[in-house]
Structure 1
Amino acid sequence: MKKTILSVAALLAVGVGSASAADLPAKVYTKAPPIVAFDPWDIAFGAAVMSDYVFRGVTQSNHKPSVTAYFEPRYNVTKDLQLYVGTSFESISFANRAAAEVDIYGGIRPTFGAFAFDFGVWGYLYPGGSCVDSNANGSATQCGVGSFPISLLNQNAMKKDVSFYEGYAKVTWTANDMFAFGANEFYSPNFLNTGAWGNYASVTGKFTAPTSVFGSSGVGMYVSGEYGRQWFGSTDAFYGPIKLADYNTWNIGVGFTYKVFTLDLRYSDTDLSKGNCNAFTSDFTASGNTAWTPINQTGVGSNWCGSTFIAKLSADVTLGALK
């Protein structure tokens, strides 16, 4: 009887030992992993309020506060390939009294490892504008037959419709959790409907602080900047024709994030003179008579292209994040 008990105990010991040893590297028999449903559709949307709407170093809101919002449906073909379309609007203050800037865009975003690309077309629409002509006299002039232009005291001129589009290509290299670098290229055959082609290229950099900096508060921080150059061709007869001045622009700022909110504080500047800035923007607030340049014969100068500080509070979310 004792021998039988000992034999059974020995067999159990061997069996348990064998099973434990087999468990160490991997189980021989396992259940299939659960199938997680993949929903390729998503929507990103958000809104922001800013102290100044600055586009490539030039204010679009006369250095006044502006609001913006966007809506962007997305389709993820795979985890590394996204198609998207979107629309956004911004409040502006142009010489032609356009009601707002309405953007319509779309493109493709492929990702290869640490490199994220973005290719697409961006349309800038400015509805509700009026013809602004320095020669306005109550009759139709070069703004077009049937147009009755308004005139500015500083003799600047602007077309009723300054809508245009750009093709773009972007790439971002995420070096690690803290550092990311990018390059951007935009081209338009008719920038702001001036008749002049426009080409803009820039490089960007961003440092994201480790989450440990703010502990468990949920607050994040980053520092980012951009340096770019804008090139132009010559305008059509309405504006001269003149060769618009090329210029450099740069910005640097710090941002704080919390959940869906971002507070961005930024300094922006360009190397455009007040005279060349006036020729480019048709600034309705431009004044003086000393800002003479070859393309600014009136001498009035604009501060729309100078240094400025921008505070922007935004909220951004995706539908997938809300599920």
Structure 2
Amino acid sequence: MFRKTMLTGLLAATLGSQAFAADVAAPAPIAAPAPWAFDFAFGGKVMSDYNFRGISQSARGPAINVYGEARYGWLYAGAAYWTTKLPNRPIGEVDLYAGIRPVVGDATFDLGVMYYLYPNETQFITTSPPAPAGFAGIWTANRSNFVEFYGKVGYDITPQLNVGAALYYAPNWLGTGAYGTYGEVNAKYKLPNDFAISGAVGHYWLGTTYGYLGGVNLQDYVYWNAGVSWTYKDFLTLDLRYHGTNLTSQQCFATTGDYRGVFTGSGRSNWCGHSVVATLSVDLQWSKLPYK
């Protein structure tokens, strides 16, 4: 029997926003450390595909995101919502997160925790028929909600060039019982006329699922992205980005439980393949609004 797991996706935050599609909701650019005063960032994005760490969370279709984040000096807490199209059919993905962003010289650190919530999800279980022979079974966890801890750092080598790294750890990834550890390095270079190029390379280490999900050792994989962006007046960004992984279509199916691969009997998924994603983002900050 094929592996009985799925990737319901994550979301939210970003390592330089374009460095990844969803890891903590993409906040407005962080300015130099300000006095300890309250501020609020909010915004959203429209995407041709919600790609999270190399895997589509919207079945290769369009998606939207909205977020709000309260800030007080280095402290922050926020929430984000992403539309999804996943095997367990939640009404979307809700991310709740909090942490600190200390700034030391030219380095910005980000240490925090995020809770991923999938409201109204239904465990994806199939029988044969209607599923083809060999494709009956449990494909998702009973509850996919999970907690992830993260640490990130970005360093301005020059005013134009920023390099960074990030590490994420989930003890119960997507409720499957498997651990999930994701590490990434990234870079962004500012070009004239408000253009920028950026990219990232990451690796996902995944553990073994619960017995009722087959006790499967999930496939580790490498993820990378590269793209170009243009920003208008520090609040509107258009990004065009290539995403890729080293997962085969069969490995992608075993990881995601793609419902199309189940009901067609192909045992394959294109959710992890090479793709180009267009994103239009709006990021606003209360303290910078012209009229308050």
TM-score range, shorter chain: 0.7 to 0.9
Q: In 1, are the aligned partners of 2:185 and 2:202 still within 8 Å (CA)?
A: yes
Q: Which of 170, 194, 206 is the matching residue for 1:232?
A: 206
Q: In 1, are the aligned partners of 2:142 and 2:175 still within 8 Å (CA)?
A: no
Q: Residue type matched to 1:237 in 2?
A: G
* Residues 1:310 and 2:285 are matched in the alignment: no
Instruction: Output one character per residue of 1:53-87: Cα deviation in whole Å (capped at 9) or x when no partner.
Output: 000000000000000010000001xxxxx100000
Equivalent position of 1:96 in the other structure? 88
Equivalent position of 2:145 in the other structure? 163
Tell which has more relative contact order, 1 or 2 (C-alpha 8 A, sep 6+). 2
Equivalent position of 1:206 in the other structure? 188
Q: In 1, are the aligned partners of 2:141 and 2:174 still within 8 Å (CA)?
A: no
* Alignment CA distance shift 1:152-1:106 (3 Å): farther
| Structure 1 residues 1-323: aligned runs within 5 Å | 40-76=37-73, 82-135=74-127, 154-155=135-136, 157-209=139-191, 213-214=192-193, 220-259=194-233, 260-286=235-261, 300-322=267-289
Aligned equivalents of 1:46 and 1:92: distance in 2?
A: 18
Aligned equivalents of 1:152 and 1:171: distance in 2?
A: 46
Dislocated runs of 4+, deviation >2 Å: 134-137, 151-156
Q: In 2, are the aligned partners of 1:287 and 1:302 still within 8 Å (CA)?
A: no
Which structure has greater helix proportion? Answer: 1
Instruction: Output one character per residue of 1:224-273: Cα deviation in whole Å (capped at 9) or x when no partner.
Output: 00100000110001220110000000000000010210000000000011
Aligned equivalents of 1:90 and 1:73: distance in 2?
A: 19
Equivalent position of 2:28 in the other structure? none
Q: What is the Cα deviation at residue 135 of structure 1? A: 4.1
TM-score using structure 1 length = 0.75
Aligned equivalents of 1:161 and 1:288: distance in 2?
A: 22
Q: Provide structure 1 residue ranges, at least 5 long, that are not aligned to the other structure.
A: 1-36, 77-81, 138-150, 215-219, 290-297
Q: In 2, are the aligned partners of 1:171 and 1:183 still within 8 Å (CA)?
A: yes
Q: Residue type matched to 1:300 in 2?
A: G
- Cα RMSD (Å) of the superposition? 2.0
* Alignment CA distance shift 1:38-1:203 (3 Å): closer
Q: In 1, are the aligned partners of 2:131 and 2:263 still within 8 Å (CA)?
A: no
